[in-house]
C-alpha cells in the first residue's frame, strides 16, 4: 500500500507495484480480487488522453469555499436521455479519447458545454454521469458563493479556478449558471459585478480545458448571446414527454415488484419533471415498504401522486407570489 501511494504520478512505478500486488493475490489464491485488479489496471490504459492515470493537481486551498470535489455515484444506467443527447455524448466521449489525434490534424476538440433546461431535467445528474464515464474527477463550482464573496477577491478566485482547470484534467461544472446570465442583465453597465461577470466569460472563452467545462442553466429563451457563443455545444434537456415518462417509470420500477401497470399513469404525469417523477416513484416504493408489502400497489402509487400534486400546487403558489 505504501509503495502504491509513493508511486502516484509515476505511471511505470505505479503499474509495477500493482502488478506485484496482483501476483501476490494470485499466490494467495484470491483469484476474484486478482482478476478484478487486473481489469481495473487494463482499463486505466484505455484513456490515452491522460496517459492512463490522470494527474492530480494540488487543490487550491483558497478555492475550497466555492469548488467542491464530488465523488460520482451515478452511471449511465441511472439517467434517461433523449436519443439525440445520447448520440451527442457518445460523440464527445469518442472525441475526448482521441483528442491527441484530432489536435495533430490542427482540429479543435469540443470541450465547453452549456446545459439548458427546466429544473429537474437531469443537467446536474448528467454532468456527474459524464465525468464518471470519462473517468475524470468531477469538480463543482458554486457560483453564488464565488460571486457573492468580496468582489475584489472574486477576480482572484476566478483566476485561480481557471488556472486549476487548465492544469487538472477534470470536469469542471458551473451549476446555476443563471446567476451569470442574470447579473449581466440586472447590473449597471459599469458596476464591478458586471466586470467580474465579463471577466468570467473571457476566461471561459480562452480556456482550453484538459477535460471539460460544463455550465448549467435553467434559462433558455433569454440566454444572452454573449454567454452562449462561448460554448462549443449547447445541450438541451427537455421535460419528459409521454414516451419518456413511460420509459422513466419502467426504469424506476425495474428492480421492484409491482401489482399494477405504472405506465397507465403516464397521462396524469404530464408536465412532471424527471425529478418530480423520481419523487413519486420513490415515495410509492417507500409506502409499500412501510405497509410491509412485497410489491408496490396501485394504491401506493396513487397516494404518492397525491403527495406530489400537493407539493406542486404549493410550489406554484409560491412562484406566483414571488412574481406579484
Ligand atoms: N433525465 C433523468 N433521468 C433520470 N433521473 C433524472 C433525470 N433528470 C432528473 N432525474 C432525477 O432528478 C434528480 C434531480 O435532477 P437534477 O440533475 O438535479 O436536475 P437539474 O440539474 O436539471 O435541475 C436527479 O438526481 C435524478 O434522481
Ligand atoms: Mg441542477
Q: What is the pLDDT of residue 165?
A: 83
pLDDT at 48: 44
Q: Using a 6 Å cutoff on CB, does residue 121 contact ligand 1?
A: yes
Q: Which residues surround ligand 2, an ion (CB under 5 A)?
A: 123-124
Query: CA dihedral defined by 60, 65, 67, 71, rounded to 10 degrees?
Result: 100
In order along the chain (324 residues), what is the average pLDDT of each group of 10 residues? 79 84 90 80 56 61 79 92 96 93 93 95 97 92 75 78 86 86 62 77 89 89 81 95 96 94 95 95 96 94 95 87 77
Among 72, 73, 122, 282, say which to mutate for ligand 1: greatest number of ligand atoms within 8 Å of CB: 122
Pocket flag, ligand 1, residue 123 (CB < 6 Å): yes
CA distance 43 to 227: 37
Q: Is 244 in the pocket of ligand 1 (CB under 6 A)?
A: no
Ligand 1 site, residue 235, Cβ cutoff 6 A: no
Pocket flag, ligand 1, residue 49 (CB < 6 Å): no
Tell how far the Cα of 124 is from the centroid of ligand 1, in angstroms: 7
Report which bound ligand comes closest to the CA of 277. Answer: 1
pTM summary value: 0.81
Span from the CA of 122 to the centroid of ligand 2 (angstroms): 7
CA distance 192 to 241: 43
pLDDT on residue 182: 67
CA–CA gap between residue 218 and residue 156 (Å, rounded): 27
Ligand 1 pocket residue status of 53, Cβ below 6 Å: no
d(CA 274, CA 107): 37
**Local structure of 142: helix, strand or coil:** strand
Enumerate the domain spans of the chain. Answer: 2-44, 61-236, 242-323
Segments of 152-268 assigned E as strands? 171-175, 212-217, 233-236
Ligand 1 lined by 275 (C-beta under 6 Å): yes
**What is the three-state SS of 249-294?**
HHHHCCCCCECCCHHHHHHHHCCCCHHHHHHHHHHHHHHHHHCCCC
The structural architecture, per CATH, of the domain 242-323 is Orthogonal Bundle (1.10)
User: Which pLDDT belongs to residue 51?
Assistant: 47
Domains 61-236 and 242-323 share a fold: no
**Which run of H or of E encompasses 120?**
none
What number of H helices and E strands is found in the chain?
Answer: 14, 6
User: Which residue is closest in CA terms to ligand 1's atom 8?
Assistant: 122
Residue 120 near ligand 1, beta carbon < 6 Å: yes
The domain 61-236 is placed in CATH, from the list 3.40.47.10, 3.40.50.720, 3.40.50.300, 1.10.1520.10, at 3.40.50.300
Choosing from 251, 275, 280 the residue with most ligand 1 atoms within 8 A of its CB, the one to mutate for a pocket test is: 275
Amino acid at each position: 500500500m505504501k509503495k502504491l501511494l509513493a508511486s502516484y504520478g509515476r505511471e511505470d512505478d505505479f503499474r509495477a507495484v500493482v502488478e506485484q500486488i496482483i501476483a501476490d493475490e494470485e499466490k494467495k489464491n484470491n483469484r476474484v480480487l486478482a482478476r478484478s485488479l487486473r481489469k481495473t489496471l487494463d482499463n486505466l490504459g484505455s484513456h490515452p488522453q491522460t496517459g492512463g492515470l490522470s494527474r492530480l493537481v494540488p487543490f487550491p486551498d483558497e478555492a475550497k469555499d466555492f469548488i467542491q470535489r464530488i465523488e460520482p455515484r451515478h452511471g449511465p444506467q441511472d439517467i434517461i436521455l433523449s436519443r439525440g443527447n445520447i448520440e451527442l455524448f457518445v460523440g464527445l466521449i469518442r472525441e475526448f479519447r482521441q483528442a491527441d489525434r484530432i489536435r495533430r490534424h490542427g482540429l479543435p476538440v469540443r470541450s465547453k458545454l452549456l446545459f439548458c433546461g427546466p429544473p429537474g431535467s437531469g443537467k446536474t445528474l448528467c454532468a456527474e454521469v459524464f465525468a464518471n464515464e470519462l473517468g475524470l474527477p468531477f469538480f463543482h463550482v458554486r457560483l453564488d458563493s464565488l460571486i457573492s464573496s468580496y468582489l475584489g477577491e472574486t477576480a482572484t478566485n476566478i483566476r485561480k479556478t481557471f488556472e486549476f482547470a487548465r492544469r487538472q484534467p477534470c470536469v469542471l461544472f458551473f451549476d446555476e449558471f443563471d446567476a451569470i446570465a442574470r447579473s449581466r442583465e440586472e447590473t449597471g453597465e459599469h458596476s464591478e459585478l458586471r466586470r467580474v461577470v465579463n471577466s468570467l466569460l473571457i476566461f471561459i472563452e480562452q480556456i482550453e480545458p484538459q477535460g471539460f467545462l460544463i455550465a448549467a442553466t435553467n434559462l433558455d429563451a433569454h440566454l444572452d448571446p454573449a454567454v452562449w457563443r462561448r460554448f462549443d455545444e449547447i445541450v438541451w434537456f427537455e421535460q419528459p414527454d409521454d414516451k419518456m415518462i413511460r420509459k422513466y417509470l419502467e426504469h424506476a420500477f425495474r428492480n421492484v415488484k409491482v401489482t399494477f401497470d405504472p405506465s397507465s399513469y403516464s397521462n396524469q404525469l404530464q408536465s412532471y419533471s424527471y425529478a418530480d417523477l423520481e419523487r413519486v416513484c420513490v415515495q410509492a416504493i417507500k409506502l409499500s415498504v412501510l405497509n410491509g408489502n412485497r410489491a408496490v400497489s396501485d394504491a401506493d402509487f396513487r397516494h404518492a401522486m397525491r403527495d406530489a400534486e400537493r407539493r406542486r400546487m404549493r410550489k406554484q403558489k409560491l412562484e406566483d407570489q414571488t412574481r406579484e
